[in-house]
Structure formats: C-alpha cells, structure tokens
Structure 1
C-alpha cells in the first residue's frame, strides 16, 4: 500500500476541496519464470507471490501437483533498486516444459487473466479432477452468510477500497484462507497456490467465493483445483455457466443479502434440508 496526496471533494458537506492523504493498493508486475525462461507477466498486488506462481502454474496445466516443483523462489529483477518482482520456478526433470504456443499469450492484466489468448480452445485446460460426483451439500442459509464473512476479513480493502478477494470455505462456512489482489484471477491463484503447497488438492467438499463476477477463467481455475462450488457476489458470464455445467460444478451468482441465483448443479444447495432442482434456466434461491 502507498500513501498519496490527493484533493478531496465532498459535495454532501461544504463542497470545498481539501488536501489530504489517501491509501492506494499496490500494483506491480510479477514475472513468472520456469527453468530460467520467462513464461508469464501478471499485474498483481505484492504478497504471497510464491502461492500466486504455484497457483498459476497449476491452473494453466503446467504442473499437476506440488511434487512437480523442485524449487520456487522470489528473485531480484532488473529494476533499480531491485523490486523482487520475479518468481523463478524449477520443475522436476520428468515434468514436460510449458507449451510455447504463439496463440497463447501469457501476459495478463489485473482485470483479465485470459486477455490476448486467441480462442476458447486455447484457454480450456482439462482438470485432473472429476468434481461431478462431489458429495458437497451446503445450506442456502450458510451461503448467504459467506459474503459478510469474506468482507470482514478483507483488511487491506478496508484501507484502500481497491482490491478483489477470494476466500476458500468449508461446507459449514469456515473460512480457511483469504487472499486479496488488484486482479481477481490473482486472488484465486493465491488461494489455490496456498492449497497446493498445503497438500490439500483436490479441494473436495470445499467452496470458493469471489468478490466480483464469475468469469470463464475463474471457473476453469476452480475446476483445476477440484473445487465443486464457485460462488460470486456478482454475475457469471455465459462461458462460465457453460464450463461449470460441463464440469459438474455448482455455480452461484448474485450472492447478496438473503438471495442468490444457482446456475448449475443445484443439488448441492439445500433449502430447509431439501435438495433443490432447477429447470434449464437459472432460478433464485433465498
């Protein structure tokens, strides 16, 4: 975080401009190298960079588990002064090198991790985990409480107002880990990287809550980690819903207040101890 002088205007008060400090969320590039060769650059909030790199490599299909990585270390870059914005990863000798396809552009912004990739085929990565039969069951009342629990743990957001969050929960609503970042995909990769390094994959019986919308890439990342339920406080995209249906993942959107929309695999959400079933179009659970 960085303090910066600003001019503040409040039209509900005097309306007179006044000078004062404001706290901004940090955004810096992180280069991920594999076997000394640059693979990806992402704009992220510094912190948990090893988890971010590990989560990225897993969700992009470069590695299958933590055992594929010999070492992962934060290194000094070429900046002056050195900013340590490079993670260098050494893979095991039996791990195939990342595919370098010109149609697959690994430069990512803080808003969209798949920008620049040429087609849906280029970003669709098959998961090692079959989540369609995951027995997770979550009461709708538990789901409804999760956004407040996520928000209460967003300490950096309290100071900056400018970060996305991703939280990994148990079926009974216990928050296991939360990560914040200027990029929603980075926050998810940090959560998954943590779980990978903790030996928790696949994340059977867990759910992931994100503070923004549910995109195709976040759905893909959840599938790659074996997460059977993805919830978002905002809307999903059509491709997110299509991919969730293909994976057998429960996708919940507009999780706000006491309401939510369940778009796919609704049997994992229970209302008054009964499983729900939906028609082909999404319905609202409250």
Structure 2
C-alpha cells in the first residue's frame, strides 16, 4: 500500500478517485491530494488579499502574512483572528490596531496571490524597491555548517502532508545547533514560510536565535520574508535567484542554497557559517 492508499488523510489533504497505470495495466485507486483553497485575509472588515493556500495552520498564516506584507510591524498589533468558511473558500477575519489599519488603507492594493508568483497584483513598479526592506535588525549569529544539513534532513522527515500527497512545500526553523523545532507546510512556498513566521511569533520564539530551512528555491520574496522576520540565515534545498542574492547581501541575511547531499553554497555573508561556531 502506498502513501496515497488507506483511510487516513492528514489535515490539508483529501481523497479522490483516480486510475493508476503501471506495467501495462490500469487499476482504480483512491489517492490523497493536497487541498488548495482561496483564502481571503480580511482586516477590520476590509478584504485585502486572496491567496491560494492549504487550509491548515491558518492563524499562523494570518500572522506571518501580516508581518511579511508590513500590514503590522509587530504581532502585538494583531488583536484577534477568526477563521470562517465562506461560499467559495475561507475567510480569515483579522482585527488589528488602528495605526496599522491606517497604514493599510494608505497602501492598500487588491491582489490575488498564486502559488508560483511573488508580486501578483502590485499596482506599479514603484512598489518593487529592494531597499525598502523595513527588516528587523539581523544579529551576527554564528552557525556550524553541519547545522544546515542536520536541519534539512530533519525537515525531509517531518513533511507529513508532502509524504501523503507529494504536492507541498515546507519551511522549518532550527536552533543554532540545527535541531528542527518548528515546521509548516503549504502548496505555496511563500505561504509555508509565512506560516512558519506566524507560528514562531505566536509562540514568542526569538527568530534570530536560529535559522530557516525551506524545500524550494530562494526567490526575492523568500529572502524578503526572512529578513522582515529577523532570520539571520535562510537555507534552501534548491537555487537562489540573482535578485535574491542581491537582496540578502543588502539585508544582512546569510543565504545558502543547494543544501543537500552533504554540500551547500553560500551566496551572502559567509561569516555566519564557521566550522568553529557553536
């Protein structure tokens, strides 16, 4: 029996009937697939964004997204979160401080997020400004190189939804030794990182005391989210983009790519990954 068979379906997955072809023969099977629903983020009664996301850990998503989009500057500006089923998806009702709401109204832009897009819905190129990071101060925390591989190996073992469906990304947070302490999954790599940030903030964990690992490429927006969350290091299993490398350098974030098979490549601020680090 493979991962898609049987009766158990983890949160964020559902069953569908399918036809499997193998060795010249076809058979009817029950397969697990990742759920992907429109999720509306509504601030003080005003709909701001609709993202396609996996419907799990949505309170974490609301907090992480709000920080990454600079809607709030601190999790304390979020007073309440309600997750409700809507006609065609899910609505997350978020109550935020009046000052944050004023900033949101000034910069509000309607956008439809997609799982492979980082800048959907922006109104002009003026918004796209790599210098406008508003990042938290990133400390010069040091990590042993082995910590990256310990965390990435643990992340592969902790992807419950991906093991069941083969269709989602994961983001994890590890301490300085590489012990993986928090994992979030989603069909969108950006969403998975938002959920991770939200989970850490809600648990009042110091994001700067460890680093993030992701099962995707490191794009501009992934680095931007890491910088705004205060991660000193972002480690990706795949490659970065040129713009991501540039932004990581500007933001003071150590960016590592191709973290797999006992090797990795450091693209910015290599001083944080020292063999003698403890």
After TM superposition, the score normalised by the length of structure 1 is: 0.86
Structure 1 match to 2:10 = none
Partners of 2:43 and 2:96 within 8 A in 1:
yes
Aligned to 2:158: 153
Equivalent residue, structure 2, for 1:75? 84
Shift of 1:212: 0.7
Matched, 1:170 2:182: no
Change (3 A) 1:126 1:63: same
- Encode CA deviations 1:29-69: one digit per residue, 9 max, x unaligned: 10000110100000000011111011111011110112111
Q: Which residue of 2 aligns with 1:5?
A: 17
The answer to whether the 8 Å contact 1:163/1:181 transfers is yes
CA distance in 1, matches of 2:72, 2:228: 11
Instruction: From the superposition, tell whether residues 161 and 153 of structure 1 become closer, same or farther in structure 2 (CA, over 3 Å).
Output: same
Match in the other structure for 1:228: 232
Q: Tell me the residue number matched to 1:199.
A: 204
Relative to structure 1, is the Cα distance of residues 97 and 34 closer, same or farther in structure 2, using a 3 angstrom cutoff?
farther
Over 4 Å off, 4+ runs: 99-102
> Could you say which residue in structure 1 is the equivalent of 2:27?
18
Match of residue 36, structure 1, among 23, 28, 45: 45
**Larger helix share, 1 or 2:** 2
Does 2:273 align with 1:269? yes
* Conservation of the 8 A alpha-carbon contact between 1:33 and 1:87: yes
Moved more, 40-49 or 114-123: 114-123
User: Which consecutive residues of structure 1, in runs of 5 or more, have no partner in the other structure?
Assistant: 276-286
Give the gaps of 5 or more residues in structure 2: 1-12
Q: Deviations over 1:223-243 (max 9, x none)?
A: 111001001000001111010
Question: Shift of residue 188 of structure 1?
Answer: 0.4
- Residues 147 and 179 of structure 2 are in contact (CA less than 8 Å); yes or no, is this contact kept in structure 1? no
State the Cα distance separating 1:9 from its structure 2 match: 1.7
- SS of structure 1 residue aligned to 2:70: coil
Distance 1:97 1:171 in 2: 35
* Higher deviation after alignment, 203-212 or 120-129: 120-129
The root-mean-square deviation of aligned C-alpha atoms, in Å, is: 1.9
Matched, 1:127 2:163: no
Q: Distance in 2 between matches of 1:181 and 1:51?
A: 12
The whole-number CA distance in structure 2 between the counterparts of 1:75 and 1:140 is: 43
Q: Secondary structure at the match of 2:155?
A: helix
Q: Following the alignment from structure 1 to structure 2, what is the Cα–Cα distance between the partners of residues 232 and 86?
A: 31
Aligned pair count reads: 263
C-alpha contact 1:135 1:205 (8 A) present in aligned 2: no
Note if 1:106 corresponds to 2:111. yes
CA distance in structure 1 between the aligned counterparts of 2:129 and 2:104, rounded to whole angstroms: 14
Task: Tell me whether 1:93 sits opposite 2:102 in the alignment.
Answer: no
Hey, what does 1:215 align to over in structure 2?
Answer: 219
TM-score for both structures, normalised by structure 2: 0.88
